[in-house]
C-alpha cells in the first residue's frame, strides 16, 4: 500500500512531516509522498524520517494553476527543492496567498466576524496560511457550526469573504516542475469540472506542455472515474498515480492510505513513477 498525496503542517495539514511518516510506517505504507501546497519546506524533515523508518519517500509539491473554470492542481513528484526556479516560483505564489489572506481577514471583519491574524495563523503550523485555517478559526470562535459551513457561507468562490489569488498558468506550472527535475501530474481531474471529451482535450494539451501523469486513484474518485482516468492514461501514454489527499485533523474523514476506506493505490505506481522520473531526467540532460 502506498500514498502519494498528503499534506503536513507546512501547508494545510495537521501533522508534522515526521509524524506523517510515523503514521505511514504504523499502517505499513511501502511508499509515500509529501505534496504540500506551494511549498517544499517540509521535504527535508520528511525525507529524513522516511529514511529512518525504512519507507520509500518521494519529495513533492502541489501547485495551484490558473484556469477559467473549476480548479486545477498540478502535483510535482521527485522535485529538487534546491532548484532556484522552483523555489522562486513557489515564493511568488506564497506572496500572492499572503496578500489574499489579509483581504479575506478584512472582509470577514467587515461582515462582523471579528478575527485577528494571530487567531487564524495559530491553526497554520509552520508555513502557508490558507482558507482551511480561516474555517478552523471561524469554527473555534463559534461563528459557524462546521468547517464546511465556513466555506459554504463565507470562504468558497462567490461567497462574501472569497478573494482570488495569484496562480501560475498550467503551462508554467508544468514547466516549473520539469525545471526542478520533477514529474508533473494532474491532480484529482474531476475538479476541472469538464465533460469527458473536454477533459481529454485539456489533458492532451497539458501533455504537449510536458504533463507526465494523471492522479487516477483518489479518495473522492468513483470506480467509474478511476476506470475513465485509467483509460485516459493508456490512450495518452501517461503514468497513473494516486493518493488519499490526507490532511489529518483538518479533514478527519480521509484516512492515510485508504481515503474514505476503499482507496488502494497499487504498489507498482512507485516503479512506474520512477521510470517516468528517469525519462524526465534523461530528457533534461539531453
Mean pLDDT of 197-217: 97
pLDDT at 207: 97
Q: Check whether 127 has a pLDDT greater than 70.
A: no
pLDDT at 126: 62
**Nearest Cα residue to 243 out of 15, 19, 62, 55:** 62
Q: How confident is the model at residue 222 (pLDDT cuts 50, 70, 90)?
A: very high
Q: Supply the pTM of this predicted model.
A: 0.84
Q: Which of 20-34, 86-100, 151-165 has the highest mean pLDDT?
A: 20-34
The pair phi, psi for residue 60, each rounded to 5°, is -145, 180
Angle, in degrees to the nearest 10, between helices 170-179 and 196-209: 40
Domains of the chain and CATH, by start: 2-90+167-285 (3.20.20.140), 99-155 (1.10.150.650)
97 or 188, greater pLDDT: 188
Average pLDDT along the chain: 92
**Nearest Cα residue to 47 out of 70, 92, 83, 81:** 81
**Nearest Cα residue to 181 out of 30, 58, 72, 264:** 58
Specify the residue for cell string 501547508: 11
Reported as a single tens digit per residue, the pLDDT across 78-95 is 999 999 999 999 988 888
Q: How confident is the model at residue 12 (pLDDT cuts 50, 70, 90)?
A: confident
pLDDT at 85: 93
| Rounded Cα–Cα distance for residues 10 and 269 (Å) | 25
106 by DSSP, 3-state: which? helix
Reported as a single tens digit per residue, the pLDDT across 173-184 is 999 999 999 999
Amino acid at each position: 500500500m502506498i500514498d502519494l498525496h498528503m499534506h503536513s503542517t507546512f501547508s494545510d495539514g495537521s501533522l508534522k512531516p515526521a509524524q506523517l511518516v510515523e503514521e505511514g510506517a504504523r499502517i505499513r505504507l511501502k511508499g509515500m509522498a509529501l505534496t504540500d501546497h506551494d511549498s517544499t519546506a517540509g521535504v527535508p524533515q520528511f525525507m529524513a524520517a522516511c529514511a529512518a523508518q525504512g519507507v520509500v519517500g518521494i519529495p513533492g509539491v502541489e501547485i495551484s494553476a490558473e484556469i477559467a473554470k473549476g480548479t486545477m492542481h498540478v502535483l510535482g513528484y521527485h522535485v529538487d527543492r534546491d532548484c532556484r526556479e522552483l523555489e522562486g516560483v513557489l515564493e511568488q505564489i506564497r506572496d500572492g496567498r499572503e496578500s489574499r489572506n489579509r483581504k479575506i481577514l478584512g472582509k470577514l471583519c467587515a461582515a462582523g466576524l471579528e478575527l485577528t491574524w494571530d487567531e487564524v495563523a495559530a491553526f497554520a503550523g509552520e508555513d502557508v496560511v490558507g482558507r482551511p485555517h480561516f474555517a478552523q478559526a471561524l469554527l473555534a470562535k463559534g461563528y459557524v457550526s462546521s468547517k464546511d459551513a465556513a466555506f459554504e457561507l463565507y470562504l468558497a468562490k462567490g461567497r462574501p469573504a472569497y478573494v482570488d489569488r495569484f496562480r501560475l498558468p498550467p503551462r508554467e506550472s508544468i514547466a516549473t516542475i520539469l525545471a526542478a527535475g520533477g514529474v508533473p501530474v494532474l491532480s484529482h481531474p474531476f475538479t476541472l469540472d469538464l465533460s469527458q471529451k473536454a477533459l481529454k482535450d485539456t489533458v492532451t494539451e497539458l501533455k504537449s506542455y510536458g504533463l507526465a501523469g494523471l492522479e487516477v486513484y483518489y479518495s473522492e474518485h468513483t470506480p467509474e472515474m478511476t476506470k475513465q482516468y485509467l483509460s485516459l492514461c493508456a490512450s495518452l501514454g501517461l503514468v497513473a498515480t494516486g493518493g488519499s489527499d490526507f490532511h489529518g485533523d483538518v479533514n478527519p474523514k480521509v484516512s492515510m492510505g485508504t481515503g474514505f476506506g476503499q482507496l488502494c493505490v497499487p504498489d507498482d505506481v512507485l516503479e512506474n513513477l520512477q521510470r517516468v522520473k528517469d525519462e524526465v531526467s534523461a530528457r533534461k540532460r539531453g
